[in-house]
Structure 1
């Protein structure tokens, strides 16, 4: 779990466009928050050009909100595209703003739930969701909670290096752990560490069982309960929301799950999905709908994308 190392190979000419892009991203992040909000409003129509992602988002919204009219779902999609565009700026804020500046943007409640776990000598999975505010929420959490985080390695080596370095800077001593490094995750939990964890991705049939998510049979990982059991850890969810008026964010750390895991993989996975459904419904426009959440289908069912 060593920290990411900068190597001379990252300075190769083929990586120069990535470094230039990172530099532009850094400069944009220095703009006033309201200016970045306005720029996201201007840029969000361009996201319609990514037809593959738009198709995924429309399909997911249709499956999850069948009671809404098509016009209502299109309005939700429009709002979601702003959230997605704003996520680019929010990630820049999370990575490149000093902590004192970020602190002015949010309030946080529920830190006592993490403190209680620490007093009891237990680690915890800090259960998160793939909201568009994922990175900025994690950076805000890191100002009050010391944790390690799971991450998925990126194919672009410059971006992969930057995401590890900047995410490890969210809190002192934090480490970015590859989600495939199961042993490291369990070891950290047994050392009473907090681990950021977002299980709402389709990782295929080998890692999942089918559990309803907004009424749709969804490939849902069973690893949440397994990590909790092997790491002797609690499940402490947290969420973050962007205020509609652009005044900032609210971070909420929720109470730990009681009686979890139960030993019933289906019941444990369903509990996680139910929590996510409840939180998504509070601000559905802020969830990352443009992901292939329903890529894996039960045997005999047609693909949806």
Structure 2
């Protein structure tokens, strides 16, 4: 009962934040992130470990600066679920600018896998991409441990016409969506364990990386279009950056195809390093015989 009451109060608070001016909500999230960064935590250690592994040449001061900025962005992104989940379409239109190399209004858009990269604006980017396509889409999600929270998240993420499916049950569903010419949104740049994965370099570190994207693209005769949700400076909102479809992809080599994604991340992360999702244990799964890093 207490859990239900707590969730109801949290949802009520998010709905309240959604009606406030965005700048107030964003500044509240930023301030909360700054405050929580002052407290020692396992997630703070994860951020520092990831930055140390991926950017060994950085000075400690640079690493500390980016770690704090990222922590503030990460906490802010959770607070801004309020606007993303409960804000009106009109409000989102004012907050999110679209920079797309693909014509999202094309009625003849070929079967497409929209590959979301895990920058802190991925939630805003995914929801607004669904809205901008003006058609039924498919979207994969990672299940929550709490079924109530999962149901709320599914409902709000689907509010502009997305069919939702758990990542664990996805392959057959994704292929059906692609056959029906539904664009599909998914993320693959996280450590989901060794199933359907391979160890692929990520900033020179072997990272457990999903190989499913290439196989789904091949089986579904689909193009792969990466996208990034970027947080704009000065609390101005977001930029949904949709990149060009990958050429000569998939190659049929699962490891090479997975490496393509990591190479793209290695190009994009240095542009806004504080916005990549460093709180995730990207190197949690280690190659046989190698010690854990966290």
Which bin holds the TM-score, normalised by the shorter protein?
over 0.9
Could you say which residue in structure 2 is the equivalent of 1:21?
Answer: 10
Q: Map 1:210-225 to 2 at 5 A.
A: 210-225=199-214
Specify whether residues 217 and 151 from structure 1 end up closer, same or farther in structure 2 by C-alpha distance, changes over 3 A only.
same
1:280 matches 2:269 = yes
Could you say which residue in structure 2 is the equivalent of 1:132?
Answer: 120
Structure-2 separation of matches of 1:221 and 1:137: 21
Quote how far apart the aligned CAs of 1:61 are.
0.5
Q: 1:150 aligns with which of 140, 144, 154?
A: 140
Could you say which residue in structure 2 is the equivalent of 1:160?
Answer: 150
Q: Map 1:1-305 to 2 at 5 A.
A: 14-48=3-37, 49=39, 51-110=41-100, 112-114=102-104, 119=108, 122-145=110-133, 146=135, 147-169=137-159, 171-172=160-161, 174-181=162-169, 182-305=171-294
After superposition, what is the alpha-carbon deviation per residue over 1:38-89, rounded to whole angstroms, capped at 9, x for unaligned?
2123211333336111111110000011110111100001110111121023
Contact 1:90 1:135 in 2 (8 A): no
Task: Give secondary structure in 2 for the equivalent of 1:45.
Answer: helix
Contact 1:113 1:236 in 2 (8 A): no
Structure-1 separation of matches of 2:256 and 2:209: 11
Task: Give secondary structure in 2 for the equivalent of 1:86.
Answer: helix
Structure-1 separation of matches of 2:101 and 2:138: 16
Contact 2:116 2:228 in 1 (8 A): yes
Structure-2 separation of matches of 1:155 and 1:175: 20
Task: Give secondary structure in 2 for the equivalent of 1:175.
Answer: strand
Structure-1 separation of matches of 2:73 and 2:46: 16
Quote how far apart the aligned CAs of 1:164 are.
0.5
Structure-1 separation of matches of 2:144 and 2:76: 21
After superposition, what is the alpha-carbon deviation per residue over 1:119-177, rounded to whole angstroms, capped at 9, x for unaligned?
26x311101111111211112222211422100121212211110000001x23x1111
Structure 1, unpaired ranges of 5+: 1-11
Aligned residues: 290
**TM-score in terms of structure 1 length:** 0.90
Task: Give secondary structure in 2 for the equivalent of 1:104.
Answer: helix
Contact 2:70 2:274 in 1 (8 A): yes
After superposition, what is the alpha-carbon deviation per residue over 1:91-146, rounded to whole angstroms, capped at 9, x for unaligned?
11110011011101121122634456x526x3111011111112111122222114
Quote how far apart the aligned CAs of 1:37 are.
2.2
Greater Cα offset, 199-208 or 214-223: 199-208
Quote how far apart the aligned CAs of 1:245 are.
2.1
Contact 1:149 1:177 in 2 (8 A): yes
Consecutive aligned runs of 4 or more in structure 1 exceeding 2 Å deviation? 45-50, 111-116
Contact 2:33 2:72 in 1 (8 A): yes
Structure 2, unpaired ranges of 5+: none
Could you say which residue in structure 2 is the equivalent of 1:4?
Answer: none
